[in-house]
Structures are given as structure tokens and as C-alpha cells.
Amino acid sequence: MQALAVDPDVWESGVAEIGISDLSATCSETHQFGTQYRQPLCWSDDATSVQIYEVLEDRSPISRAANIGTPILIICGNADPICPSNQSLMRADKIKKDGTTMEINLYRGEGHVFVKAETLQGMEVEQEVWFRRHLT
């Protein structure tokens, strides 16, 4: 989703699978294992709280969601402890309010990695239909 938001003129359509929308919210919502990635990847040990906030805001797709002008399909599991589904719902709400064509599908009982055969098959079919509809 970040690619659609940062370079909106490049894309004709997109699919966001299991994505994070708001890094600040994720810092407080996700399990502890995921928190170990952010500091070494996003800011230095001596970063101030203001600098950390600025990095999180800059790298959060939700902060640029208004830039997304291409149709987007959002797919996630409703039982994901790493990228909670509220992130996808928040993103969908913001994109829809901005008038962009979008759909969201929360797969029941799926976590961060989809494992059910019917989910995997359904997701592939859903994406193919989506792209056939929105790519010229």
C-alpha cells in the first residue's frame, strides 16, 4: 500500500495483503517479537521521541492514504496477532472516505500466514478477478 501512496501515478491497481497501516498503533498493539524489528531498522539508538514519531508517521501508509487514487483490494486474516485486522479496517475506512474504489476481505480464522486451503484458493481467485476488472 505504501507504493500506491508514495507513487500513485505508477500504479493502475493494487492488492494489499496482511499490511500495516499505522506504525505507531502497531507499536502498541502487536506482540513483543515484532517490536524488536523497528528500532534497528527505523531509527538510531539515540533518536529522540520526536524523531521516532516522525519516522513512524512518515513510514505509515495511513498518513498518505489520501494519495491513493487507484483501486485497491485489501486482504487479511481476522486473527492476525502481528498485523491486527483493525489496521486493515482503518486503512479501508480512510481510503473509502477519500473516494477511492476499494474492497476489503477479512478471512475468518486466518492469522498472519494463511493456511486454510479454501482461503489460499479463494484469495488467488479474488485477486485474479480484481485485476481483470481493474487493469486495462
- Please tell me the distance from the alpha carbon of residue 26 to that of residue 130, in angstroms, as a whole number: 28
Q: Which residues contact 65 (CB under 8 A, 6 or more apart)?
A: 1, 5, 21, 91, 94, 95, 98
Per-residue pLDDT at 35: 60
Per-residue pLDDT at 40: 66
Extract the residue ranges of the chain whose pLDDT is less than 50: none
Looking at the whole model, is its pTM more than 0.85?
no
Alpha helix ranges (H) inside 44-83: 49-58
| Domain chopping of the chain, boundaries | 2-134
What would the pLDDT profile of 16-37 be if each residue is shown by its tens digit? Answer: 987 778 877 777 766 565 566 6
What would the pLDDT profile of 92-106 be if each residue is shown by its tens digit? Answer: 888 888 889 999 999
CA-wise closest residue to 126 among 76, 61, 78: 76
User: Other CB atoms closer than 10 Å to residue 34's CB: what's the count?
Assistant: 16
Maximum distance among all Cα pairs of the chain, rounded to whole angstroms? 48
First-to-last alpha carbon distance for the chain, in angstroms, is 20
Question: CA dihedral defined by 95, 131, 118, 83, rounded to 10 degrees?
Answer: -30
According to CATH, the superfamily of the domain at 2-134 is Alpha/Beta hydrolase fold, catalytic domain (3.40.50.1820)
